[in-house]
Amino acid sequence: MQARFHKFVRFLPAAIVFVVLASCEELPDAASTHEPRGLTGLRPDLVSVAPGEMQSPVRIAQDKQGRLYVSDYQSQSVVMLDAGGGGVFVAAAFTVPGNPLGIEWAKGNLLLVGNATTRTVDVYRTTNGKWFYSLGGVGAIGDPSDIAADSDRDLAFVVDGEAFAVKVFDLRNGALLYTISGPGPGSYYLQNPTAIALDPSRGEVLVSDFGDPAVSGSPPSVKIYTYEGDHVKTLSGKSGMLGQKFSRPQGLAVDALGRILLVDAVAGEVLVLDRQTGNVLETYGTLGSGPGELWLPLDLVVDDNQMLYVTNNRPRRVEVFSLGG
Protein backbone atom coordinates (compact mmCIF):
# COMPACT_ATOMS: atom_id res chain seq x y z
CA MET A 1 0.00 0.00 0.00
CA GLN A 2 2.73 2.38 1.07
CA ALA A 3 4.64 2.11 -2.17
CA ARG A 4 1.58 2.70 -4.25
CA PHE A 5 0.61 5.72 -2.28
CA HIS A 6 4.03 7.28 -2.81
CA LYS A 7 3.82 6.79 -6.50
CA PHE A 8 0.42 8.35 -6.53
CA VAL A 9 1.47 11.45 -4.62
CA ARG A 10 4.47 11.94 -6.83
CA PHE A 11 2.49 12.02 -10.00
CA LEU A 12 -0.59 13.81 -8.87
CA PRO A 13 0.55 17.46 -8.68
CA ALA A 14 1.96 17.41 -12.17
CA ALA A 15 -1.07 15.66 -13.44
CA ILE A 16 -3.85 18.10 -12.80
CA VAL A 17 -3.74 20.94 -15.19
CA PHE A 18 -7.22 22.28 -15.18
CA VAL A 19 -10.73 21.21 -14.62
CA VAL A 20 -13.43 22.45 -16.78
CA LEU A 21 -16.97 22.26 -17.86
CA ALA A 22 -18.42 22.74 -14.46
CA SER A 23 -22.07 21.89 -14.66
CA CYS A 24 -23.01 21.23 -11.08
CA GLU A 25 -24.36 23.96 -8.92
CA GLU A 26 -21.43 24.50 -6.62
CA LEU A 27 -18.83 25.12 -9.29
CA PRO A 28 -18.47 28.14 -11.57
CA ASP A 29 -19.78 27.58 -15.04
CA ALA A 30 -16.72 27.61 -17.26
CA ALA A 31 -18.88 27.33 -20.33
CA SER A 32 -20.49 30.70 -19.86
CA THR A 33 -17.17 32.51 -20.03
CA HIS A 34 -16.54 31.32 -23.57
CA GLU A 35 -18.33 32.23 -26.71
CA PRO A 36 -19.43 28.83 -28.02
CA ARG A 37 -17.87 28.21 -31.39
CA GLY A 38 -21.00 26.30 -32.27
CA LEU A 39 -21.52 23.99 -35.18
CA THR A 40 -22.97 25.75 -38.13
CA GLY A 41 -26.18 24.52 -39.55
CA LEU A 42 -27.33 22.80 -36.38
CA ARG A 43 -31.06 23.05 -36.04
CA PRO A 44 -32.01 24.70 -32.74
CA ASP A 45 -34.67 22.08 -32.10
CA LEU A 46 -31.97 19.43 -32.07
CA VAL A 47 -30.28 21.09 -29.13
CA SER A 48 -31.44 19.90 -25.73
CA VAL A 49 -28.41 20.48 -23.56
CA ALA A 50 -27.65 24.07 -22.77
CA PRO A 51 -23.94 24.84 -22.46
CA GLY A 52 -22.58 23.51 -19.20
CA GLU A 53 -25.52 21.28 -18.52
CA MET A 54 -24.53 17.69 -18.99
CA GLN A 55 -26.64 15.38 -16.87
CA SER A 56 -24.89 12.05 -17.00
CA PRO A 57 -21.76 12.00 -19.19
CA VAL A 58 -20.80 8.43 -20.06
CA ARG A 59 -18.54 7.84 -23.09
CA ILE A 60 -16.24 10.24 -24.89
CA ALA A 61 -14.71 10.29 -28.37
CA GLN A 62 -12.52 12.72 -30.29
CA ASP A 63 -12.31 13.63 -33.97
CA LYS A 64 -9.23 14.54 -36.01
CA GLN A 65 -9.76 18.24 -35.29
CA GLY A 66 -9.71 17.65 -31.56
CA ARG A 67 -13.41 18.17 -30.95
CA LEU A 68 -14.82 15.96 -28.22
CA TYR A 69 -18.13 14.08 -28.30
CA VAL A 70 -19.81 12.91 -25.09
CA SER A 71 -22.85 10.67 -24.73
CA ASP A 72 -25.12 12.16 -22.08
CA TYR A 73 -27.21 9.25 -20.87
CA GLN A 74 -29.93 11.04 -18.96
CA SER A 75 -30.52 14.04 -21.20
CA GLN A 76 -30.60 11.67 -24.18
CA SER A 77 -28.15 13.82 -26.08
CA VAL A 78 -24.80 13.86 -27.75
CA VAL A 79 -22.80 16.81 -26.47
CA MET A 80 -20.00 18.28 -28.57
CA LEU A 81 -17.20 19.99 -26.72
CA ASP A 82 -14.44 22.24 -27.95
CA ALA A 83 -11.12 22.17 -26.17
CA GLY A 84 -8.85 25.19 -26.30
CA GLY A 85 -8.22 28.59 -24.82
CA GLY A 86 -7.54 27.05 -21.43
CA GLY A 87 -10.84 25.25 -21.15
CA VAL A 88 -13.35 22.88 -22.59
CA PHE A 89 -16.84 24.08 -23.34
CA VAL A 90 -20.03 22.88 -24.90
CA ALA A 91 -20.19 23.88 -28.53
CA ALA A 92 -23.41 22.15 -29.46
CA ALA A 93 -25.61 19.19 -28.74
CA PHE A 94 -28.25 17.10 -30.42
CA THR A 95 -30.82 14.72 -29.02
CA VAL A 96 -31.08 11.03 -29.81
CA PRO A 97 -34.19 8.87 -29.42
CA GLY A 98 -33.27 7.15 -26.15
CA ASN A 99 -30.35 6.85 -23.73
CA PRO A 100 -26.98 6.96 -25.51
CA LEU A 101 -24.01 4.90 -24.29
CA GLY A 102 -21.12 4.10 -26.65
CA ILE A 103 -19.86 6.87 -28.90
CA GLU A 104 -17.15 6.99 -31.57
CA TRP A 105 -16.04 9.24 -34.39
CA ALA A 106 -15.14 7.82 -37.80
CA LYS A 107 -13.81 9.36 -40.98
CA GLY A 108 -16.29 11.11 -43.23
CA ASN A 109 -17.62 13.11 -40.25
CA LEU A 110 -19.53 10.15 -38.94
CA LEU A 111 -20.52 9.76 -35.34
CA LEU A 112 -21.47 6.28 -34.14
CA VAL A 113 -23.84 6.34 -31.17
CA GLY A 114 -24.94 3.27 -29.23
CA ASN A 115 -28.52 3.67 -28.02
CA ALA A 116 -29.50 1.59 -24.98
CA THR A 117 -33.21 2.28 -25.47
CA THR A 118 -33.58 1.47 -29.15
CA ARG A 119 -30.81 -1.14 -28.91
CA THR A 120 -29.08 0.09 -32.04
CA VAL A 121 -25.84 1.72 -33.09
CA ASP A 122 -26.88 4.75 -35.11
CA VAL A 123 -24.57 6.63 -37.41
CA TYR A 124 -25.03 10.41 -37.48
CA ARG A 125 -23.31 13.16 -39.43
CA THR A 126 -21.38 15.42 -37.09
CA THR A 127 -22.08 18.36 -39.37
CA ASN A 128 -25.81 18.47 -38.71
CA GLY A 129 -26.60 15.81 -36.12
CA LYS A 130 -28.75 13.95 -38.66
CA TRP A 131 -29.20 10.20 -38.60
CA PHE A 132 -27.55 8.49 -41.54
CA TYR A 133 -27.83 4.71 -41.09
CA SER A 134 -27.63 2.07 -38.35
CA LEU A 135 -25.12 -0.73 -37.91
CA GLY A 136 -26.65 -4.15 -38.36
CA GLY A 137 -30.19 -2.85 -38.18
CA VAL A 138 -32.69 -3.11 -35.35
CA GLY A 139 -31.91 -5.70 -32.69
CA ALA A 140 -28.34 -6.29 -33.85
CA ILE A 141 -26.94 -5.03 -30.55
CA GLY A 142 -28.72 -5.50 -27.22
CA ASP A 143 -26.62 -3.24 -25.03
CA PRO A 144 -24.23 -1.07 -27.08
CA SER A 145 -22.04 -0.12 -24.17
CA ASP A 146 -19.00 1.15 -26.08
CA ILE A 147 -17.71 1.56 -29.64
CA ALA A 148 -14.28 1.83 -31.29
CA ALA A 149 -13.63 2.41 -34.98
CA ASP A 150 -10.68 1.91 -37.29
CA SER A 151 -11.43 4.34 -40.11
CA ASP A 152 -8.54 3.14 -42.25
CA ARG A 153 -9.85 -0.39 -42.28
CA ASP A 154 -13.54 0.61 -42.26
CA LEU A 155 -14.23 -1.41 -39.13
CA ALA A 156 -16.43 -0.64 -36.14
CA PHE A 157 -16.09 -2.72 -32.96
CA VAL A 158 -19.12 -2.62 -30.66
CA VAL A 159 -19.30 -4.00 -27.11
CA ASP A 160 -22.63 -5.73 -26.66
CA GLY A 161 -23.01 -6.17 -22.89
CA GLU A 162 -26.07 -8.32 -23.35
CA ALA A 163 -24.33 -10.76 -25.71
CA PHE A 164 -21.10 -10.68 -23.63
CA ALA A 165 -19.30 -10.11 -26.91
CA VAL A 166 -17.73 -7.61 -29.27
CA LYS A 167 -19.50 -7.33 -32.61
CA VAL A 168 -17.51 -6.18 -35.61
CA PHE A 169 -19.23 -4.23 -38.38
CA ASP A 170 -18.27 -2.96 -41.82
CA LEU A 171 -18.41 0.83 -41.62
CA ARG A 172 -19.14 1.16 -45.32
CA ASN A 173 -22.45 -0.67 -45.28
CA GLY A 174 -23.21 -1.38 -41.63
CA ALA A 175 -23.07 -5.15 -42.12
CA LEU A 176 -22.19 -7.42 -39.21
CA LEU A 177 -18.93 -9.18 -40.14
CA TYR A 178 -18.12 -11.37 -37.16
CA THR A 179 -18.25 -11.61 -33.36
CA ILE A 180 -15.38 -11.71 -30.87
CA SER A 181 -15.69 -13.95 -27.82
CA GLY A 182 -19.14 -14.49 -26.41
CA PRO A 183 -19.82 -16.02 -23.02
CA GLY A 184 -17.44 -18.69 -21.84
CA PRO A 185 -15.25 -19.78 -18.96
CA GLY A 186 -11.76 -18.72 -18.01
CA SER A 187 -9.76 -15.67 -18.87
CA TYR A 188 -10.07 -16.02 -22.64
CA TYR A 189 -13.74 -15.17 -22.91
CA LEU A 190 -15.58 -11.98 -22.09
CA GLN A 191 -17.64 -12.18 -18.90
CA ASN A 192 -19.08 -8.70 -18.40
CA PRO A 193 -17.45 -6.48 -21.03
CA THR A 194 -17.96 -2.76 -20.55
CA ALA A 195 -15.64 -0.68 -22.74
CA ILE A 196 -13.33 -1.01 -25.73
CA ALA A 197 -10.28 0.54 -27.38
CA LEU A 198 -8.18 -0.28 -30.43
CA ASP A 199 -4.45 -0.40 -30.96
CA PRO A 200 -4.34 -0.06 -34.76
CA SER A 201 -0.53 -0.27 -34.91
CA ARG A 202 -0.67 -3.79 -33.47
CA GLY A 203 -4.07 -4.64 -34.89
CA GLU A 204 -5.41 -5.35 -31.42
CA VAL A 205 -8.68 -4.90 -29.60
CA LEU A 206 -8.62 -4.13 -25.87
CA VAL A 207 -11.75 -4.80 -23.81
CA SER A 208 -12.47 -3.84 -20.20
CA ASP A 209 -14.26 -6.64 -18.38
CA PHE A 210 -15.83 -6.57 -14.91
CA GLY A 211 -15.30 -10.32 -14.75
CA ASP A 212 -17.88 -12.23 -12.77
CA PRO A 213 -17.92 -10.76 -9.26
CA ALA A 214 -19.69 -13.87 -8.00
CA VAL A 215 -16.94 -16.21 -9.23
CA SER A 216 -13.50 -15.97 -7.65
CA GLY A 217 -11.72 -17.24 -10.79
CA SER A 218 -13.12 -14.41 -12.91
CA PRO A 219 -11.50 -11.20 -11.67
CA PRO A 220 -11.91 -7.84 -13.39
CA SER A 221 -9.49 -7.56 -16.31
CA VAL A 222 -8.47 -6.02 -19.58
CA LYS A 223 -8.65 -8.65 -22.32
CA ILE A 224 -6.67 -8.21 -25.50
CA TYR A 225 -7.59 -9.86 -28.80
CA THR A 226 -6.39 -9.53 -32.36
CA TYR A 227 -8.74 -7.72 -34.75
CA GLU A 228 -9.78 -11.17 -35.91
CA GLY A 229 -10.73 -12.18 -32.38
CA ASP A 230 -7.85 -14.41 -31.27
CA HIS A 231 -7.06 -14.01 -27.61
CA VAL A 232 -3.64 -12.39 -27.07
CA LYS A 233 -3.49 -11.79 -23.36
CA THR A 234 -5.44 -10.89 -20.24
CA LEU A 235 -4.28 -8.25 -17.76
CA SER A 236 -5.91 -9.11 -14.46
CA GLY A 237 -7.11 -6.49 -11.99
CA LYS A 238 -5.90 -8.73 -9.21
CA SER A 239 -2.41 -8.45 -7.85
CA GLY A 240 -1.11 -11.16 -5.60
CA MET A 241 -3.47 -12.98 -3.27
CA LEU A 242 -5.53 -10.11 -1.93
CA GLY A 243 -4.31 -7.00 -3.72
CA GLN A 244 -6.14 -5.28 -6.52
CA LYS A 245 -5.03 -2.90 -9.22
CA PHE A 246 -8.54 -2.12 -10.41
CA SER A 247 -11.99 -3.47 -9.72
CA ARG A 248 -14.49 -1.81 -12.09
CA PRO A 249 -12.60 -1.20 -15.33
CA GLN A 250 -14.38 1.08 -17.79
CA GLY A 251 -13.12 3.25 -20.66
CA LEU A 252 -9.57 2.66 -21.88
CA ALA A 253 -7.09 3.85 -24.51
CA VAL A 254 -3.59 3.14 -25.77
CA ASP A 255 -1.25 6.15 -25.65
CA ALA A 256 1.61 7.08 -27.98
CA LEU A 257 4.04 5.00 -25.91
CA GLY A 258 1.86 1.91 -26.16
CA ARG A 259 0.80 2.10 -22.52
CA ILE A 260 -2.77 1.30 -21.55
CA LEU A 261 -4.81 4.04 -19.88
CA LEU A 262 -7.78 2.71 -17.94
CA VAL A 263 -10.44 4.26 -15.67
CA ASP A 264 -11.57 2.47 -12.53
CA ALA A 265 -15.14 3.64 -11.91
CA VAL A 266 -15.19 2.81 -8.20
CA ALA A 267 -11.69 3.90 -7.23
CA GLY A 268 -12.01 7.19 -9.11
CA GLU A 269 -8.68 6.99 -10.83
CA VAL A 270 -7.04 6.61 -14.19
CA LEU A 271 -4.38 3.90 -14.23
CA VAL A 272 -1.48 3.78 -16.63
CA LEU A 273 -0.63 0.13 -17.22
CA ASP A 274 2.42 -1.44 -18.76
CA ARG A 275 1.10 -3.37 -21.74
CA GLN A 276 3.50 -6.28 -21.24
CA THR A 277 3.40 -6.79 -17.49
CA GLY A 278 0.12 -5.14 -16.55
CA ASN A 279 1.97 -3.24 -13.82
CA VAL A 280 0.60 0.11 -12.71
CA LEU A 281 3.06 2.79 -13.87
CA GLU A 282 1.17 5.90 -12.80
CA THR A 283 -2.26 6.98 -11.63
CA TYR A 284 -4.19 10.19 -12.23
CA GLY A 285 -7.07 11.55 -10.19
CA THR A 286 -8.46 10.53 -6.87
CA LEU A 287 -11.94 9.76 -5.58
CA GLY A 288 -14.03 12.83 -4.84
CA SER A 289 -16.19 15.54 -6.35
CA GLY A 290 -13.79 18.50 -6.33
CA PRO A 291 -11.59 19.76 -9.18
CA GLY A 292 -9.32 17.03 -10.50
CA GLU A 293 -11.21 14.43 -8.50
CA LEU A 294 -13.16 11.62 -10.09
CA TRP A 295 -16.51 10.23 -8.97
CA LEU A 296 -17.73 7.41 -11.17
CA PRO A 297 -15.41 8.17 -14.11
CA LEU A 298 -16.55 6.13 -17.11
CA ASP A 299 -14.38 6.85 -20.11
CA LEU A 300 -11.34 8.69 -21.42
CA VAL A 301 -9.57 9.84 -24.57
CA VAL A 302 -5.99 10.97 -24.94
CA ASP A 303 -4.99 13.35 -27.74
CA ASP A 304 -1.76 13.99 -29.66
CA ASN A 305 -0.73 16.64 -27.13
CA GLN A 306 -0.85 14.09 -24.31
CA MET A 307 -3.98 15.66 -22.90
CA LEU A 308 -6.28 13.23 -21.15
CA TYR A 309 -10.05 13.88 -21.06
CA VAL A 310 -12.15 11.86 -18.60
CA THR A 311 -15.95 11.74 -18.37
CA ASN A 312 -16.70 12.30 -14.70
CA ASN A 313 -20.23 11.00 -14.32
CA ARG A 314 -21.41 12.09 -10.89
CA PRO A 315 -20.00 15.63 -10.91
CA ARG A 316 -21.29 15.87 -14.51
CA ARG A 317 -18.05 17.17 -15.92
CA VAL A 318 -15.17 16.34 -18.20
CA GLU A 319 -11.91 16.35 -16.28
CA VAL A 320 -8.67 17.24 -18.07
CA PHE A 321 -5.22 16.01 -17.12
CA SER A 322 -1.84 16.42 -18.76
CA LEU A 323 -0.02 13.13 -19.15
CA GLY A 324 3.55 12.93 -17.96
CA GLY A 325 3.57 16.44 -16.56
Partner 1 sequence: MRWLLLIPPLAAAVTLALLFGLESGDAASAVALNPNHECSFCHGLHGGNTNPLLRGASIEATCLSCHGPAGTAILADVHKNDPTGNSCCAPFRVTCMECHDPHSNQTNWRGNENLKLVRANITGANGTRPVVLETRSGDFSFCDLEGPTGETGYPQAVGEYDNVCDVCHANPDLARHHLNSDKQHHQSPNTCPSCHTHDNAFSP
For partner 1, the closer of residues 59 and 227 by Cβ is 59
Cβ closer to partner 1: 146 or 150? 146
SS (H, E, C) the chain: CHHHHHHHHHHHHHHEEEEECCCCCCCCCHHHHCCCCCCCCCCHHHCCCCCCCCCCEEEEEECCCCCEEEEECCCCEEEEEEEECCEEEEEEEEECCCCEEEEEEECCCEEEEEECCCCEEEEEECCCCCEEEEECCCCCCCCEEEEEEECCCCEEEEEECCCCEEEEEECCCCCEEEEEECCCCCCCCCCCEEEEEEECCCCEEEEEECCCCCCCCCCCEEEEEECCCCEEEEEECEECCCEECCCCEEEEEECCCCCEEEEECCCCEEEEECCCCCCEEEEECEECCCCCEECCEEEEEECCCCEEEEEECCCCEEEEEECCC
Binding window for partner 1 (CB under 8 A); candidates: 49-57, 86-94, 126-134, 175-183? 49-57
Measured from the CB atom, is 86 or 243 closer to partner 1?
243
Q: In the complex with partner 1, which residue's Cβ is closer, 69 or 227?
A: 69
Report if residue 287 touches partner 1, rule: CB under 8 A.
yes
Nearer to partner 1, 134 or 313 (CB): 313
Q: By CB under 8 A, which span of 104-112, 125-133, 258-266, 302-310 interacts with partner 1?
A: 258-266
Give yes or no for residue 95 binding partner 1 (CB under 8 A). no
Question: Cβ closer to partner 1: 87 or 237?
Answer: 237
Q: Which of 97, 258, 288, 324 binds partner 1 (CB under 8 A)?
A: 288
Q: Judged by CB under 8 A, does residue 3 bind partner 1?
A: no
Query: Using the rule CB under 8 A, is 146 a contact of partner 1?
Result: yes
Cβ-proximal residues to 137 (8 Å cutoff; 6+ apart), any chain: 120, 174
Q: How far is the CB of 50 from partner 1 (least distance, A)?
A: 8
For partner 1, which stretch binds (CB under 8 A), given 33-41, 126-134, 254-262, 294-302? 294-302
Question: Total number of residues binding partner 1 (CB under 8 A)?
Answer: 48
Is 271 in contact with 283 (CB distance < 8 Å)? yes
**Among residues 34, 59, 67, 223, the one that binds partner 1 under rule CB under 8 A:** 59
Question: Does 101 contact partner 1 by CB under 8 A?
Answer: yes
Q: Shortest Cβ distance from residue 246 to partner 1 (Å)?
A: 5
Query: What residues make contact with partner 1 under the rule CB under 8 A?
Result: 1, 25, 50, 53, 55-56, 58-59, 73-75, 99, 101, 116, 145-146, 161, 192, 194-195, 210, 213-214, 216, 237, 242-248, 250, 264-269, 287-289, 295-296, 298-299, 313-314
